[in-house]
Chain A
Amino acid sequence: MPASGSPSLTAPPLDVDAIRADFPALHQTLYDGRPLVYLDNAATSQKPQVVIDRVRDFYARENSNIHRGVHYLSQQATEAYEQARETVRRFLNARRRTEIVFTRGTTESINLVAATFGRSRLERGDEIVVSAMEHHSNIVPWQMLCQERGARLRVIPVDDRGELDEEAYRRLLTERTKLVALCHVSNTLGTINPVQRMIADAHGLGIPVLLDGAQAAPHLPVDVQALDCDFYCFSGHKVFGPTGIGILYGKEALLDAMPPWQGGGDMIETVSFERTTFNELPHKFEAGTPHIAGGIGLKAALDYVEARGRTALARHEDALLAYATERLTAIEGLHLIGTAREKTSVLSFVLDGIHPYDAGTLLDRLGIAVRTGHHCTQPLMQRFGLPGTIRASLAFYNTTDDVDALVDGLHRVRSLLA
């Protein structure tokens, strides 16, 4: 369904059984022997065996600190870590490896931009534009910055389908706007935002744009040059990689002009008590020993996705989304929240007269892992007047059987609670 990443019709069908065999966590039973049906991929994804093996091998053989050792292991580890950076560059189609900064995750990437770019550019009376569908991690850092600077957060409204009001967006862009911070894909609704157009609108007024790609990177091809975004953030653990590793992409000129954030080892060139000079990009933003195993594991994850074929994976997810949408909407009293025309495989919904928490608890006992609650998007829940939703989020290793299990589970939930 994503027009931009529309999979070609000639791609071979996906061998989902073979893919599932790569993910050990999917093959377990819970409680009284119920097979796990994992539908919480927007929270985090499971890891293929190659990622688990790569991380274990790093600790078993290559473990050493990077960027400073003259010894063999250190050189091996440094080489592997920098290769991971190159893989991320390719994954995002960034121009240069120096534009890829390793962080702990999307949240840290956003905070880094807020603390450096934001602090150096924002003045009293300035504005930052976000949308009503942002995750708290793309609201709170900007809110804190605005409070500190006497600046203001402006919010793009969301319509009933879960799409952004682009006209309102264009009206919000003024000479006071210093940054637009926007999710590429909504974690709660699955909406794929028309970011290309929105970036062009902002750039028309010289306003830089940060994209929160946490929910896009696992599902869509991302090309930061084609998008022309100024910053792009995503998390390793949502793209089948380890937790604790994430990415900040930034255009070189912007990263260069930004002051460093955290001080420490690796981010310096020379240090004396009078004066410290800072290392070049991207190391300027990578103080201290990084999550080396995480970076190397992330490379294994991205290589895996690449090898399986991003187009084929996306096509399978699109088919699953269509199937799940049809089956879920046939359930009496079920209302989908988020029916945008362009969506990833996220299905948020409510059931008449049933609290999401009750439904989630019973589904869990049936072995079905979904997320319930506000999904770290409280302003969006307020927009829809809901205390929360039930969210099933599908990955390429999910099947129509998983969707059927969810539908059967929801019928049982309804018979118990309605």
Chain B
Amino acid sequence: MSTIAEREQEIVDAFALFDDWMGRYEYLIDLGRELPPLDDAYKTDDYKIHGCQSQVWIRAEERDGRIYYEGDSDALITRGLVALLIRVLSGQPADAIIEADLKFLDRIGMQEHLSPTRKNGLASMIKQMKLYALAHGQTARS
């Protein structure tokens, strides 16, 4: 299984094919469309990420020491961001997820979404995904 760094590089390479923001957003929106929808049973407050103008839900489960994520949003761009994070982090060991600096977001021109003042909650999503990794990682070790 590829590492977080390898997956980040794949995404950076894919985004590099577009020379303008429109192309990059179009690609992000496509990633959002391709993300398998989350079962409605999980679209509850328990899985909701706060601080987003759109609704976002993310859940995680641990299998063999690795954390697997699923997520969804009612906005497509946000869904694309969820898809990117899942592509990079899902199936990785908890420790690696907690340590991940996710610098690829800068390199694909999505750093503007990371600012805490943006209402899409990308920073909240990352925080929640790391918290899941922390919680599941501890359960796995104990």
CB–CB A358/B77 < 8 A: yes
**Alpha-carbon distance A357/B78, docked complex (angstroms):** 9
**Alpha-carbon distance A416/B55, docked complex (angstroms):** 20
Known: A357-B53, A357-B78. A416 touches B21 (CB 8 A): no
**Alpha-carbon distance A392/B55, docked complex (angstroms):** 22
Known: A372-B53, A387-B74. A357 touches B120 (CB 8 A): yes
What number of B residues sit within 8 Å (CB to CB) of A?
A: 16
CB distance from A188 to the nearest CB of B (A): 15
**Alpha-carbon distance A135/B38, docked complex (angstroms):** 34
**Alpha-carbon distance A7/B89, docked complex (angstroms):** 60
Judged by a CB distance under 8 angstroms, whether A388 is at the interface is yes
Known: A372-B53, A373-B53, A416-B26. A357 touches B21 (CB 8 A): no
Provide the residues of chain A in CB contact with B26, threshold 8 Å: 416
CB–CB B54/A355 < 8 A: yes
Judged by a CB distance under 8 angstroms, whether A417 is at the interface is yes
CB–CB B75/A365 < 8 A: no
Please indicate which of the listed interface residues B20, B21, B53 has the most CB atoms of chain A within 10 Å of its own CB: B53
CB distance from A380 to the nearest CB of B (A): 16
B1-30: contact bitstring with A at CB < 8 Å (1 yes, 0 no)?
000000000000000000011100110010
Judged by a CB distance under 8 angstroms, whether A340 is at the interface is no
Which A359-388 residues have C-beta < 8 A from chain B?
A: 361-362, 365, 372-373, 387-388
CB–CB B54/A357 < 8 A: yes
B33-77: contact bitstring with A at CB < 8 Å (1 yes, 0 no)?
000000000000000000001110000000000000000001111
A354 to chain B: closest residue by CB: B76
B120 to chain A: closest residue by CB: A357
**Alpha-carbon distance A362/B54, docked complex (angstroms):** 14
A226-240: contact bitstring with B at CB < 8 Å (1 yes, 0 no)?
000000000000000
B21 partner, pick from A356, A365, A388, beta carbons under 8 A: A365
B103-141: contact bitstring with A at CB < 8 Å (1 yes, 0 no)?
000000000000000011000000000000000000000
**Alpha-carbon distance A365/B20, docked complex (angstroms):** 11
Known: A373-B119, A388-B53. A417 touches B76 (CB 8 A): yes
CB–CB B75/A355 < 8 A: yes
CB distance from B69 to the nearest CB of A (A): 21
A358 partner, pick from B20, B22, B75, beta carbons under 8 A: B75
Please indicate which of the listed interface residues A361, A373, A412 has the most CB atoms of chain B within 10 Å of its own CB: A361
CB–CB B29/A416 < 8 A: yes
**Alpha-carbon distance A298/B142, docked complex (angstroms):** 63
A355 to chain B: closest residue by CB: B75
CB–CB A365/B76 < 8 A: no
Judged by a CB distance under 8 angstroms, whether A274 is at the interface is no
**Alpha-carbon distance A372/B74, docked complex (angstroms):** 14
Provide the residues of chain B in CB contact with A416, threshold 8 Å: 22, 25-26, 29
**Alpha-carbon distance A393/B82, docked complex (angstroms):** 31
A357 partner, pick from B20, B25, B75, beta carbons under 8 A: B75
CB distance from B15 to the nearest CB of A (A): 15
CB distance from B28 to the nearest CB of A (A): 10
B74 to chain A: closest residue by CB: A355
CB distance from B109 to the nearest CB of A (A): 10
Provide the residues of chain A in CB contact with B77, threshold 8 Å: 357-358, 361-362
Judged by a CB distance under 8 angstroms, whether A326 is at the interface is no
Provide the residues of chain B in CB contact with A362, threshold 8 Å: 25, 77
**Alpha-carbon distance A357/B76, docked complex (angstroms):** 9
CB–CB A357/B119 < 8 A: yes
Provide the residues of chain A in CB contact with B53, threshold 8 Å: 356-357, 372-373, 388
A28-59: contact bitstring with B at CB < 8 Å (1 yes, 0 no)?
00011000000000000000000000000000
A372 to chain B: closest residue by CB: B53
Provide the residues of chain B in CB contact with A356, threshold 8 Å: 53
For this complex, 11 residue pairs linking A to B, each with C-beta atoms less than 8 Å apart, are A32-B21, A355-B54, A358-B75, A358-B78, A362-B77, A373-B119, A387-B54, A387-B74, A388-B53, A416-B29, A417-B76
Extra pairs beyond A358-B75, A416-B29 (12, CB < 8 Å)? A355-B54, A355-B74, A357-B53, A357-B54, A358-B77, A361-B77, A365-B22, A373-B53, A387-B54, A388-B53, A416-B25, A417-B76
3 A-B pairs closest in CB distance: A355-B75, A357-B75, A357-B54
